[in-house]
Structure formats: structure tokens, C-alpha cells
Structure 1
């Protein structure tokens, strides 16, 4: 049954269910981006409240760990929840990751007490837990869409899921601007540099991130488990999903009596079969994230020259300016980059987009340095800075999300034979050979 369902999924026409899966899986990435990228304006507010004696500036020794803790959590979450997803199923573990995100978002807002040190320790702890939940969501969202999509549009569908990250960045900026505008309009007295309500504003912005996570949890629990986990147990469910009769997904392949040899994850056999693919995917993702997160999460520091002087504005206007700049970058370059990949990836392929993206990202970064040093108006720098984000997303930031989901998905050993590269294959690893068929 498993092979027939997967084959039916691969050849199925694009239908309503595919778009529903994009929204449900994509809402996880939307929430991830909101929670990760709302931190720059929030650090401005925290600086206003707790560092008034230091020109309202959060020291680097404090702001850097606060950003890094969430990212450290994502690394742990990806490893832990990715493995749990293979053992216990995508839906159950995905729900656990989302619940952790909900609890952590609320916990960030209710960071204990109001003293400087206590607040920062509490916020750092809950940001770490939030990162663990976000890390769990990343691989599961990609895997879920990969296992639901057909092979003709799989790249576009997974890219569409990932593009929700751009909308999450935009939403985090939009929520920050709306909340700050409301509190700024009603504050009294008007000339207060750091209103006492500002301590409530940054907490509110963080807690709002729990809303899309909670909505995603409900929708995700309404979806069936992916085919690689339940196709042999839920044929009637997949009949509804695929809009085909049960006879069309009946098992038509006989399995030999002796199963293929098994090997553990961290074994010589695993690295012989998959080591090169695993290293290539991990190294590419590592390199692009140095740029993507490094420039996004400290965007307000990099672009301080384009923001108003803090002594001239109050806390709300300061955070509003950071969020506004972040939103403009997202609209002008980040989001278009995601959607350029969605429309083009299945036409020109993953490798070409990734190579092109890395090349133009490097050129834009080198050129932006020259523009920053020699262009007094800094307009050239802004254009090149935006191009860095465009080619990051129309390039390796998106493809590094897609390729692993296609290389290492559908972990089902099957007895099939096909011809590839002049060699007949029998029992083997279905995950890797499925990709060969797709890309041939």
C-alpha cells in the first residue's frame, strides 16, 4: 500500500488539498519568522527601559546572547524533533513543537519581575525554548509538504511553504508598528521619552506570536498523517486526499521474504550512502545562514544611520522606526526573492538557483561595502543591501530548505526495479533513488 500511495501522490493533479497543505505547513514558518525577527525592535524598547544610563543602548554582550539563544535552540530543536518525527510520526511531533512555541511565546511576555537582570535571564530562557520549538517546526514543515506534493510541482510547493517566512517577518514588523502607534497615540504626558507602559508593549508584541502558532496547531491536527507513516493503515483517508478509488492505491508490489539490511543513523554505512549529501546540504545551509540571520537579526545596528537619533524620539517612535525599516526591506527584497523561487524553481532546477544565489549574494555584499564607504547618500548601499536579501531568498536560503526535504524524505524500503544511468537497481534506499527519478 505504501508504494502505491506514494506513487499516486507523485502523479496526482494539483488540487485544493495541496494548497491547504501549503497554508497549514506554511503557517508554521510564518510563526517561526514572527517569533525570530520581532526581536530587533524589542531590543530597542528594552534598551529604553533598562539601559537609560547608557544612552538607551543594550550592550553587545547582552544583545548578542539574546539573539544567539533562540538560534541555539533551533539547532537543538531540529535535531531532536526531526528524529522524533521519524519515530512517532509528523503530526504528533509537529503538534508538540507548536505547543512549545505557544507556551514559550507567552512565557517571553510574562518574563519574571521587572528588574534588569531578572528580566533578561527570564527572557533568554524562554527565547531558548522558543527556538527549540521553532527548530522542530522547520524540518517537519518541509517534510510534510514534500510528502504531500506531486513531483511536477514539489519544488514550487515547498518554496511556497518557505515563502511564508517572509510574510512572518512582515507581520512582526506590522504588529510592532501598530502596537507602538496605538500606545504612542494615547500616552500621557506626550513628551515622555520612555513611558512606563513601554514595558508592557514589548511583552505584548512577543505574546501575540502565540496566536498564529495556536491556530496552526488546530489546523495541523485536522490533517492526516503523511503517507510515509500511515499509508498502509489509512487507505480511506488517502482516497479522500487523492480523489482516487481504493483499487488505484492497492498494493501491487510483492515484497521478498528477507528485508534489506538495516544500519543506524551514525554509522559507516550511513555515511557511505548519504554522507556527501548530508555534508553538502548542511554546509550550504550553514554558510547562507551566517549572512541571512547575521544581517536580519542585527538589522537595526547595521542600518543605524537610516534611523532617527534616539535622543530625538520616544521609545515607541524608536521601535516603530526599526520595525518600519525591517518591513520595507521585507517588501522590497525579501518577499519578492521567495516568490521568484516559487515560480521558477521547477523550470530551471535547485542547483542552478543555489549557485546563482550564492554568486550574486557575494557580489552584492562586496559592492555594498564599497558603496557604504564612498556613497555619502548611502542610497547605493541600500539598493545593494536589498539585493543581498533578494538573492538570498531567490537562491540558497530557499533551496537549502527544499533539497534536504527531497533527498531524505519517504523513508520506506521497497522492492522495485528501474533503470538509471545504465544500472539496474533492486532492493535499496527508496529515499535517494526517488530523488534520482525526480531530477532525471
Structure 2
């Protein structure tokens, strides 16, 4: 019993449609691959900047919160919404940054509060202002913190950066909690009041606690003095996050020459700390806002001193380093923020697009060549099947069906549009069709 012959392959009648489909499929497939690759690059490497970010600032009416509100107004000019959160100060700000559940992107953090915490996921955009340590005491002649041993010292409220820094400085001078020295949990106006009324022998103030107005009020009280840090240089060596700053004579009150002599102080700096995934465009906007807010001259700083790329406790980000060296890019200087953002991302994508496009351009001819040859091979498959049928013992009806299949092949070849590069293969195929026809006719005779 003869095995049943497989059905002949289908040959399209519209050859022009076949050629159009070959070109379209190739270009669409390659274009889809390029679009997919570029989309992945955009999504993973260079996403669009967010329109809303969150900042942890400081207590109500503090300089931290006032500065954050100024940042908010500046960022709003570029379509960025800054959500400002009140906090207890630098310690809580740092904990919020380290807790992903808090969704805080940026915060003011005073130097020296990161002891024992893993801050590798954070980066600094630079230092923005000083928060000097000012020690007021009853009496005169105090030049060392160790001289406060056994006295009552206001060191700041629990959880504040002032208290944490004060305890470090006192510990370096041999004064620790639980000893003969009484450490009072008060700061600001409360600490100054305790000092004036005699409830405290000394008060360590820092940041908003040591405002110009409060310092003048305290120094005008008879019997109250401010400590001169004669060992300021030693403190800056032992505590790298501290700087040595001076209060020149008369800087608080020129008319009454307050202070009468230069006062040496030590001061940590407040850094603008962010999470490592902060978008580069947002980083530029924040540093630009910091220049506008903190770049003016003040009681403790010269014009243009802040923001500074000198970071203390945290590694300065690469985007911040680039901004401090070269400033904003040409696009951001000349175009609105969101237009420049799109243009910047397009430029970033040119390189990966080129990397994908050149191999794709080389791949298209290979795919097209494979498509043309596969069509020719499909004809040859049908010819082989017809030839085998001609060689076999076949009836007149079977030979008639083989002739019909061969006529169908020839009709399809007559309409087939073959590229000139494959004309030789096309004419060889036509010759082989004639060869099979002759074999089939010989078998019929």
C-alpha cells in the first residue's frame, strides 16, 4: 500500500504583496527591538524627574524650617512640589532618611549625629550653613570645658543635635552623664533663663538656640560671659565635622563693642543630605536653591561661602560634584526645566540607540536574505516531491495532479518579484522546474 503524499505547499498569487510583507516584517521587527531596548534604558537608567519630593526640616519657627520653606518657593518656579515636614531636628531627620517607609528624599542634617548608623545609602549635596557651639557661663576666665566639671550645665533637650554634640564635647573633656556634673535637658530661651536666674552654671547653645538676639540679651546680663575656645584647632582635629570660626569684636553690637574681643568658636556644618536615588535634575535644582538661600553674607559666613562641596559625614554625590565644577548644563541654562529634562534624556539615549541601531542595520540584510532564500527553498521542496512522484509507479490520474502542481509552481514563479541580487538563483530554479517537467513527461510516455 502506497504512503499518502503530503499536501503541496501553498504559493501566494500576489507576489507584490509577498515582497512588501517581507520588507515590512523585517523593519517592524527590528524597530520593535530598538524601541524595547530604548524603553528599558529609559526606565532603568534615566527615568524622568519626579514632580513631588519630600523634605524633613526642623522644629516650628526654626532656621531649618524657614530655609525649607524658601526651598519650596524656589522649586515651585520649576514645577516641582516640595513637601516640608516638621521634625525634632537633625537626629529625627537622619532617621527618616534611613527609613524607606518614611519616603523622605532630602533633609537638613547637622554634622556629628550619625554615630553608629549605617549611612552608606545616603549622599550629601554639600554643606549649607554653620550651627556654632556657644558656651555661656556664670563668672569669667573660662577657656576649657573641663572647668565645668561638677557644675550644672544645660546641654539641650533629649533627641536634639545640640544635646548629642554637647555630650560628645563634654565626654572628650572627661565629663560624662552620671558623674558629679548635672546635665540639664534644656536649650534656647529656657536654658538662657536658667542661666540668668542661677538655676544653671553654664548653657551650651547651638544653632537656633544661639541667635544674635539671644546672645546679646545674655551677654548684657552682669556676671554672664561667653567661653573662648582656645583649643578650637584641637577640636577640629579630633572631630572632623567641626570648623573653627571667629566672632570679631563688635560683630554683635558695634556701638557697645560686643563682644569686646575676638571669640574663637567651634561649629559643625549642616549638610543637605539625600538618598542615593535622588534624580540628577532634582539635585541640580536643590543646589541652585541652596545658593540662593545660603549664599548671602551673614554673621558667621562670607558671601558665596555656602553651599560648599566640602562634605563631612557623608560622601558628596557625583551629581553635586559635577554641578560645583561646571554648573548647570547648557540645556538647563537656556530652556525651561521640563523641556531641558526631556532634551537631556534624549541626548543620554543617543549612545545606546546608536549601539542598538548599528547591529540592527547589519541584521536587516541577513534577515532579508534568509527570507528570500527560504521562499526559494520552499519551491525546491515542492519540486522534489513532484519528481519523486514522477519516478514512482503512478496512475494517469496521479500524474495529472502532479502536472497541475507543477503548473501552479510555474504560475507562481511568473508573478514572483525577485531582487536582482538573487536573479541567478531565480533562473536556476526555473530551469529546474523545466527539468522536473521533462522527467514527469518522460514518465507519462
TM-score, normalisation: structure 2: 0.20
TM-score, normalisation: structure 1: 0.20
Higher helix share: 1
Task: Specify the structure having the higher radius of gyration (Cα).
Answer: 2
Higher strand share: 2
Larger RCO: 1 or 2 (CA < 8 Å, sep 6+): 1
